Amino acid sequence: MDFLTQYSEAAKTSVGFFWKSGWAFVLGYAVSAAIQTFVPKRNLTRFMGKANVQSISLSTLFGAISSSCSFAALATARSLFLKGAHFVAAVAFMFASTNLVIELGILIYIFLGWEYVIAEIIGGLVLIAISSLLIRWAYPRKWIEEARKKVEAESGGTEDDFDWRKRIRSKTGWLRVGHKFVHEWKMAWEDILIGFTIAGFVAVFVPDTFWQAVFLQNLEGEAPAFLLRLENAFIAPFVAALTFIGSMGNIPLATVLAGSGVTFAGIMGFIYSDLIVPPLVDMNRKYYGIKVALYIVGVMLVSIVSTALLLNYGFEALGVMPRHKQVMGEMTQFRIDYTFWFNLFFAAVAAVLVWAYYRFKKLKDMPGTFSLGNITLKRAIVYACVIIVTVGLALFFVQ
């Protein structure tokens, strides 16, 4: 393909990534808003306020039935932490909501096969167990206390004295959900737009030979098998970080890696690394501060590498190593399927929540409106991404 054709395809891919996960964004932020609005802190503390098996299990279950969107997972985890959930439980929720959800399993089945779905589920549980143990063994109590104070200060109060039964039956309570929903979007939309734009262009412009070199496929059969798997598992999170792709967007590139001959450990390490991409690390920095954000990255990196290696050796011992597919699939194609109908439905949900946001502001006589704010470096990059994608889509339709 010539440059203009690649450029237009990259723009289409960027939009396609968001198209596939757009409904999950709305679902995740709606869940986060509802938690903040209707769940008193004392109720959450009772079930998720300790670093024990019950708390971690509940967080894992809640994550598995929540959104697969990485950005929404962080927003919901923050709301759980704000309401009194233990930090271990919040991290368990992050992993579960990006690795154990149904829609992600469907994508993995389509692009990589059922063996990878089984690996994703088993590995997700192992990942949560390892990260929970790591945090309990190396718990930075002072940092976490500072992070909780920061989250509470920025939330404008935790509103622990309300009666959730009365609030959930009131019109004002549901309008408040809209207010929280828009507030979460205002904190994340720039990172989402930048990340998905970069993801589309990386997927199109970076050739397979590059991945083969990065994952040392030329040393297959020469270097010790363990070192090759370790390198693949260790380098995969950094590759994921450079691609800026979240949980729904990294499956196509994981398929590219599989087709390029990357080891099973490397592929699983890449899939599990959606939570340590720069936009998400930056979001955690906004939520908890730089020290806790980097601490989360460290815990996740060790957990991901360990889990990827355990899966590789475990599946190999059982003789059920997944086979690599050679095609990427058609993830970013636009057609009338479940994604189309989900996006229509949740677009309507988003519209209702935005309406509720303005009604709540009017009811509470709150000043100001939702605006794009001042021009910053990040905002300039956002505008550049919008222009780049718009021009690329125009070329796609013209060609």
- The token duo for 334 is 């636009």
Cβ pair 186, 371 in contact under 8 A: no
pLDDT at res. 291: 94
Average pLDDT score, the chain: 83
- The token duo for 56 is 């971690």
Assign 267 a pLDDT band (cuts: 50, 70, 90). Answer: very high
**Rg over CA atoms, the chain:** 21
Cα(62)–Cα(81) distance, integer angstroms = 14
DSSP letter string, 55-107: HHHHHHHHHHTS---HHHHHHHHHHHHHTT--HHHHHHHHHHHHHS-HHHHHH
Helix (H) or strand (E) holding 222: none
- Nearest Cα neighbor of 63 from 21, 108, 90, 96 is 96
Q: Find how far residue 175's CA is from the centre of its chain.
A: 27
CB atoms within 10 A of CB 348: 11
What average pLDDT score do residues 297-303 get? 95
pLDDT at res. 329: 44
Helix orientation angle between 225-243 and 171-205, rounded to the nearest 10 degrees: 120
pTM: 0.73
Assign 40 to helix, strand or coil: coil
Could you give the dihedral angle defined by the CA atoms of residues 244, 246, 252 and 257, in that order, rounded to the nearest 10 degrees?
Answer: 60
Cβ pair 95, 127 in contact under 8 A: yes
Q: Locate tokens 């988003």: which residue? A: 350
Return phi, psi of residue 178, to 5°: -60, -40
What average pLDDT score do residues 70-89 get? 84
CB atoms within 10 A of CB 333: 12
Least confident of 112-121, 186-195, 312-321: 186-195
- Nearest Cα neighbor of 176 from 152, 159, 188 is 159
**pLDDT tens-place string over residues 318-375:** 888 886 554 444 556 677 777 789 889 999 999 999 999 999 988 876 665 545 556 6
Cβ pair 333, 16 in contact under 8 A: yes
pLDDT at res. 374: 61
Cβ pair 141, 109 in contact under 8 A: no
Cα(249)–Cα(253) distance, integer angstroms = 8
Cα(7)–Cα(158) distance, integer angstroms = 47
Cα(49)–Cα(62) distance, integer angstroms = 14
Cα(79)–Cα(47) distance, integer angstroms = 15
- The token duo for 359 is 């009604």
pLDDT at res. 367: 62
Higher pLDDT among residues 227 and 200, named by residue: 227
- The token duo for 54 is 């019950």
**pLDDT tens-place string over residues 305-319:** 999 999 999 999 988
- The token duo for 349 is 């949900």
**pLDDT tens-place string over residues 123-181:** 999 999 999 999 999 999 999 999 988 888 877 554 556 777 888 888 888 999 998 88
